[in-house]
């Protein structure tokens, strides 16, 4: 009896609610209001978030899709035979990779990759989409500085190399200090503003 034991590579990250699916046509849900697209090979690639700006600690929802807009089947290669290939990475703006000094990721999905993944073949009009949620907490446990951050999306091979589309697709988001809140009663509000 042959037993396959997948090789596990730890990439680190915090992942909540991953969803991957294929469908005919690609309709980005209305909730993803902050988006960018690019055409690579015969694919229309879309990366989106549910907002452009977040308070530090807010959940961030990501959408990544590949739609074959060509007239024949096309393949997204899988050079290292890993699964999942879909990757979302959040790093400080101005960073092109995690190899640069000061460019540690705040968020990275997937946490674990397995060998024995396959290339992805999409027929004309077919869409492969991926949804992911980040809980807004720095993976490394450090404080998050307010500022602009870059979200990278795409298909990766080993060592966070985005091969589809080459270099990944990018979208910037703003992480802002949370608005301080105070507990106050309705009576205190009425006294302060209406008396």
> In Å, how far are 109, 154, 179, 180 from 192, measured between CA atoms?
48, 53, 21, 19
In a domain, 2, yes or no: no
> In Å, how far are 4, 5, 116, 153 from 1, measured between CA atoms?
10, 13, 18, 39
**Domains in the chain: how many in total?**
1
3-state class (DSSP) for residue 177: coil
For the entire predicted model, the pTM comes to 0.80
| Domain around 86 | 8-194
pLDDT of residue 6: 34
Residues whose CB falls within 8 Å of the CB of residue 99, separated by 6 or more in sequence, listed in order: none
In a domain, 139, yes or no: yes
In a domain, 1, yes or no: no
For residue 87, give the CATH number of its domain: 2.60.40.10
In a domain, 21, yes or no: yes
In a domain, 73, yes or no: yes
| Chain centre to alpha carbon of residue 53 | 15
| Tens-level pLDDT at each residue, the chain (195 residues) | 333 333 334 333 333 334 556 666 789 999 999 999 999 999 999 999 999 999 999 999 999 999 999 999 999 999 999 999 999 999 999 998 878 888 889 999 998 999 999 999 999 999 999 999 999 999 989 999 999 999 999 999 877 899 999 999 999 999 999 865 556 666 666 565 665
Question: What would the 3-class secondary structure string for 55-123 be?
Answer: ECCCCEEEEEEEEECCCCCEEECCCCCEECCEEEEEEECCCCCCCCCCCCCCEEECCEEEECCCCEEEC
Peptide bond into 165 cis (omega under 30): yes
In a domain, 49, yes or no: yes
The C-alpha atoms of residue 19 and residue 109 are separated, in whole angstroms, by 12
Total residues belonging to the chain: 195
In a domain, 3, yes or no: no
The C-alpha atoms of residue 166 and residue 184 are separated, in whole angstroms, by 52
What six digits make up the tokens of 153? Answer: 């999306």
In a domain, 165, yes or no: yes
pLDDT of residue 102: 82
The C-alpha atoms of residue 123 and residue 115 are separated, in whole angstroms, by 25
């Amino acid at each position: 009896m042959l037993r396959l034991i997948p090789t596990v590579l730890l990439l680190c990250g915090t992942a909540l609610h991953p969803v991957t699916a294929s469908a005919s046509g690609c309709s980005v849900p209305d909730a993803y209001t902050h988006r960018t697209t690019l055409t690579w090979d015969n694919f229309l690639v879309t990366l989106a978030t549910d907002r452009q700006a977040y308070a530090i600690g807010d959940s961030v929802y990501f959408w990544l899709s590949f739609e074959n807009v060509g007239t024949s089947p096309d393949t997204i290669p899988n050079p290292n035979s890993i699964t999942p290939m879909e990757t979302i990475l959040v790093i400080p703006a101005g960073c092109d990779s995690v190899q640069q000094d000061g460019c540690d990721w705040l968020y990275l999905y997937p946490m674990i990759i397995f060998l024995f993944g396959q290339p992805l073949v999409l027929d004309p009009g077919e869409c492969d989409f991926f949804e992911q949620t980040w809980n807004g907490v720095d993976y490394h446990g450090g404080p998050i500085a307010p500022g602009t951050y870059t979200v990278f999306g795409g298909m990766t091979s080993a060592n966070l190399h985005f091969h589809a589309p080459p270099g990944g697709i990018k979208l910037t988001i703003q992480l802002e200090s949370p608005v301080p809140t105070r507990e106050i009663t309705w009576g205190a509000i009425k006294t302060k503003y209406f008396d």
